[in-house]
Structure 1
Amino acid sequence: MTDLNALLKLKGVFAAGTFSDDGKLTGYAGDLTEDAAAMAAAMCAANMHMARMQTDGFTAMSGESGWTPATGFSLAGPKFAVCVMGNTGVFARVGEASFNQIFKAMPAAK
């Protein structure tokens, strides 16, 4: 089980959550409403599926095997970012957070 409160202690992190493969919210903590967390869970699951499709394509086109299986992704805007590893997502403030620390603290993907 993912310790969401431990992830919230990382510098710059303001919310964390877990989700099922089909995008259902399974847990959340931090500065998000339940509705926002549910929407984020659906978005994270959809983007994880897209990442898997893209890495399958990169593998087929490049002949390199280091792309798959996709285990996570990050998406950043000017102020905020989401980092996903497996079925866990973390929302952070870009100027405060360390992506390396976040991914190191997240549970390994299955």
Structure 2
Amino acid sequence: MPKDELNFLEFLQGFRRGELLREADDRLSEVLAAIQETGNSGEITLKLPLKVNKAGQIECTPQITAKKPKRELGAGIYFLNDDARLTRRDPNQQDWLDDIEARRDRAAE
């Protein structure tokens, strides 16, 4: 291959004096940190759209996108009371602490 021709790796390394690789490396670091924090998967996408301009030259405007995983909040469990309001306590289940107190009251009589 003649000296002035670029292979794929040389193209990536030389694009804007390494700016493309620095940007991709930054996105990789962000995604890896988010993976470590959340335990979920992430993704980095590099697009290299190539087009011929009016002068017959090849133009490339790379696009780097990163999908960082997010921590899931998880489900919360609630019940509806008789007034259609949310509560953490099941209105259909007796509270065992109330049951113990009632037994103590009966035993004290």
- By the TM > 0.5 criterion, same fold? no
- TM-score w.r.t. length of structure 1: 0.31
Higher relative contact order (CA closer than 8 Å, sequence separation 6+):
1
- TM-score w.r.t. length of structure 2: 0.31
